[in-house]
């Protein structure tokens, strides 16, 4: 069996990931005024011994008003910073693995309900707050109309990103990612559907994201890793497309960024997205062919063979998975067994290795079902 690409290391800026499997950032909507709590110990704790090459921490917001929901994490206060440091230090005490954090601002999609309460805008009884965006255009029908950001506020937001990056640096994250996709502020400002400004931030829709990117680059250490999640398609006439992602990736590379994660959608609620396994892989491939930067692909990847096929065909450099890890935190262990690779288990769990069970010639129970998207 040839050595699978999935299990080869990759250098990202100043750090090396031991393999190319990345746990996607996933909001937990369970924080207290931006602070992590016991839920995050459980969630990140168990994923931190998953064997993945990189674990990303959820979208963490640079201002209080920039949170998506009341339950989102933030890096806007010293309490936020201390709470996150406590969780990350604990993960590190037991398992060494690269850990990154995604920072962002929700823009006009802030002040939302958590998914299990409806995922809509907060109603007057739910303590909503004023949202801000490049232009006063609501995300969808019924949503809060955001207030248009002044130039002064835009400059202050650049500083907020820098301040969050400095907090992330102090916590000790190996990698920092700008959330520039999924219809949040750094994406809104790029799309002609949500940015109708007449000033320089409208004439050059990459101006604000690149100002943030450059300012963050200044404070984020070169010996760690820096990247961005970008959007390759608004799935709407007149919206962003793959060429825009290529341009953005090239600019980020020019600024000294180490990688991009290519995603799409969520700028408007009514877009029709042809979701199917690996549906965003062609966007990653396009960016990879056009921009000299490491590329992650994400979206409907769940099966180890599928993941390996993407990497060995050179369509992306890393595979990023979200729901597959919620479904099966042992994804990496099982993929390694399937590919005949020996990986390091936490000592207390070493006896779970199926290939070492006495007389284990049997196929792993439920193996086929475990790795499929539901
Ligand atoms: C519970 C949950 C929370 C998510 N939170 C984030 C987030 O914080 N930042 C982000 O960029 N994407 C977020 N996403 C999107 C995922 O990172 C990923 O892009 C998407 O789920 C597609 O990948 P998948 O098919 O492997 O789940 C979230 C997805 C889920 C399921």
Alpha-carbon span 236 to 36, nearest angstrom:
36
Dist CA 108 CA 274 (whole Å): 25
CA of 265 to the centre of ligand 1 (A): 12
Give this prediction's pTM. 0.96
CA 266 to chain centre: 14
pLDDT tens, position by position, 174-231: 999 999 999 999 999 999 999 999 999 999 999 999 999 999 999 999 999 999 999 9
Q: How confident is the model at residue 372 (pLDDT cuts 50, 70, 90)?
A: very low
Q: Is the pLDDT of residue 367 over 60?
A: no
Find out whether 226 and 258 touch, Cβ atoms under 8 Å.
Answer: yes
Residue 351's pLDDT band, with cuts at 50, 70 and 90, is confident
pLDDT tens readout for residues 30-52: 999 999 999 999 999 999 999 99
The number of angstroms, rounded, from the C-alpha of 23 to the middle of its chain's C-alpha atoms is 9
**Cα–Cα distance between 132 and 67 in angstroms, integer?**
11
Q: At what angle do helices 207-219 and 242-254 cross, to 10 degrees?
A: 30
Atom 7 of ligand 1: nearest residue by CA position: 26
Q: 353 pLDDT exceeds 90?
A: no
Phi, psi of 16 (to 5 degrees): -120, 125
pLDDT-derived band at 357 (thresholds 50, 70, 90) equals: confident
Closest CA to 160 of 236, 217, 105, 94: 105
Q: CB of 199 within 8 A of CB of 231?
A: no
Work out the pLDDT band at 73, boundaries 50, 70, 90: very high
167 lines ligand 1 (CB under 6 A): no
Query: Is ligand 1 within 6 A of the CB of residue 72?
Result: no
pLDDT level of residue 273 (50, 70, 90 thresholds): very high
CA of 207 to the centre of ligand 1 (A): 26
- pLDDT tens per residue across span 309-349: 999 999 999 999 999 999 999 999 999 988 889 888 888 99
Binding site membership of 264 for ligand 1 (Cβ less than 6 Å): no
pLDDT of 354 strictly over 80: no
| Average pLDDT of every residue of the chain | 94
Query: Which phi and psi angles does 68 have, rounded to 5°?
Result: -70, -50
Using DSSP's 3-state secondary structure scheme, residue 139 falls into coil
Q: Is the CB of 249 under 6 A from ligand 1?
A: no
pLDDT in tens, 155-169: 999 999 999 999 999
Active site residues: 184
């Amino acid at each position: 069996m040839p050595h699978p690409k999935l299990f080869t290391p990759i250098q990202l800026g100043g750090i090396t990931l031991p393999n190319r499997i990345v746990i996607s950032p996933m909001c937990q909507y369970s924080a207290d005024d931006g602070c992590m709590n016991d839920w995050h110990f459980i969630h990140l704790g168990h994923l931190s011994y998953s064997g993945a090459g990189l674990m990303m921490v959820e979208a963490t917001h640079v201002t209080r008003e920039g949170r998506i929901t009341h339950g989102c994490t933030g890096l806007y206060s010293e309490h936020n910073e201390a709470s996150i440091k406590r969780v990350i230090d604990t993960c590190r005490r037991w398992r060494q693995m690269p850990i990154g954090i995604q920072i962002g601002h929700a823009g006009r999609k802030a002040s939302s309900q958590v998914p299990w309460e409806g995922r809509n805008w907060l109603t007057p009884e739910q303590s909503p707050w004023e949202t801000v965006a490049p232009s006063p255009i609501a995300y969808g029908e019924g949503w809060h109309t955001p207030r248009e950001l002044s130039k002064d506020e835009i400059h202050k937001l650049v500083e907020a990103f820098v301040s969050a990056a400095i907090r992330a640096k102090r916590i000790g994250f190996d990698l920092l990612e700008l959330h520039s996709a999924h219809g949040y502020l750094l994406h809104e400002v790029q799309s002609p559907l949500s940015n109708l400004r007449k000033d320089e931030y409208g004439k050059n829709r990459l101006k604000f994201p690149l100002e943030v990117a450059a300012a963050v680059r200044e404070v984020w250490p070169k010996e760690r890793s820096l990247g961005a999640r970008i959007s390759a398609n608004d799935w709407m006439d007149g919206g962003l497309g793959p060429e825009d992602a290529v341009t953005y990736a090239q600019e980020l590379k020019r600024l000294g960024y180490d990688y991009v994660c290519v995603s799409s959608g969520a700028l408007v609620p009514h877009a029709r997205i042809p979701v199917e396994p690996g549906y965003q892989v062609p966007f990653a491939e396009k960016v990879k062919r056009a921009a000299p930067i490491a590329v992650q692909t994400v979206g409907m990847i769940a099966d180890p063979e599928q993941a390996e096929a993407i990497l060995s065909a050179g369509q992306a450099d890393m595979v990023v998975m979200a729901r597959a890890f919620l479904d099966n935190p042992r994804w990496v262990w099982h993929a390694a067994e399937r590919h005949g690779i020996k990986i390091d288990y936490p000592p207390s769990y070493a006896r779970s290795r199926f290939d070492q069970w006495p007389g284990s010639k049997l196929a792993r129970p439920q193996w086929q079902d475990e790795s499929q998207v539901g």
